Amino acid sequence: MRSRRGDAVPAARTERAERAERERHLLAEQARAEERSALAAEIHDLVTHRVSLMVLQAGALRVSAEQPQTQAAADAIRETGAQALTELREVIGLLREPPATLLAAAEVGEAPPGRLSALVTESGVRAVLVEDGDPGRVPAVVGRAAYRVVQEGLTNVRKHAPGAAATVTLGYGPDGVRVSVRNGPAASTPDPALVGSGTGLLGLRERVELLGGSLDSGPCDGGGFLLEARLPA
């Protein structure tokens, strides 16, 4: 009897310690979820206000403009702004989800490689898309990362090398995906208002490395720029 009672004491202490550790973990998860939700709300308020204002101004320009070229440009701005608002709401919704839900959504969601041609066409960059292999075998979470690489690359071409031609290349193999965005020299001077802080590439690198991949970027010989990522399957 004494032996059983003596064995029960360490077991109870171990159980209490494990329960306390689980509670600390849950509290930490709750704090992170609350922080993510607050950040999502702030991003939503700030960005939505600015983009909505841009869409309204483009609509006003469309009504008052007399030249067809100006009307077409205003329509394009409105459509781009509306699409940006839709994508922003999707991202904000993900930020408000718990980590387990985010992972599940990434695994079962639609893989964006099928939408790459539309992304390239609507990018505003003179770009050519070259694909090799079967994108259907790529896991959704890897496909989304490849999509974001192309999106960031084309955005940077538009901001930093206006008028430059670009080539978007994706190779789908049994070991993963290799994606690159290569552009030539700029045809005109970049608009200082569009040049960012470089945080887009930093965030993209973190995303790629979380999947076990690698991201390289830098100038090319003869001018231009190369953004290249390798994503494991």
186 and 126 within one domain = yes
Residues 97 and 158 in one domain: no
Last residue of a domain, one of 82, 108, 134: 108
CATH code, domain with 148: 3.30.565.10
Beta-sheet pairing, 165-173 with 126-132: parallel
Q: Two tokens at 152? A: 């960031």
* Interacting residues of 228 by C-beta distance below 8 A, sequence separation 6+: 178, 179, 180, 181, 215, 216, 217
Residue entry with tokens 């550790």: 21
- The one-digit pLDDT tens for each residue of the chain (233 residues) are 555 555 666 777 778 878 888 888 777 777 777 776 777 777 777 777 788 888 888 888 888 888 989 988 888 888 888 877 777 776 676 666 555 544 444 443 444 545 888 889 888 899 999 999 988 888 888 888 899 899 999 988 988 888 999 999 999 988 899 999 999 998 888 776 666 556 678 878 888 888 889 999 999 887 899 999 999 97
Q: Domain check: are 28 and 141 in the same one?
A: no
CB 42 within 8 A of CB 92: no
What's the CA gap between 170 and 147, in Å, rounded? 10
Same domain, 103 and 120: no
Neighbours of 145 (CB within 10 A): 24
Main-chain phi, psi angles of 105, to 5 degrees: -65, -40
Q: What CA–CA distance (Å, rounded) separates 196 from 50?
A: 17
pTM attached to this predicted model: 0.59
Q: Is the dihedral of CA 92, 205, 169, 178 positive or negative?
A: negative
pLDDT value of position 102: 47
The structure tokens 């991202």 sit at 91
C-beta of residue 120 within 8 angstroms of C-beta of residue 168? yes
36, 40, 43, 49: CA torsion to nearest 10: -160
Which residue range(s) make up the domain with 224?
111-232
Distance, in Å, from the CA atom of 128 to the CA atom of 215, rounded to the nearest integer, reads: 21
- Distance of alpha carbon 134 from alpha carbon 124, whole angstroms: 27
Residues in Cβ contact with 53 at an 8 Å cutoff, skipping those fewer than 6 apart:
none
Tally of domains within the chain? 2
Task: Please tell me the predicted confidence (pLDDT) of residue 38.
Answer: 72
Q: Which of 108, 139, 167 is the last residue of a domain?
A: 108
Dihedrals phi, psi of 183, to nearest 5 degrees? -125, 155
Same domain, 129 and 224: yes
- Per DSSP, the three-state class of 197 is coil
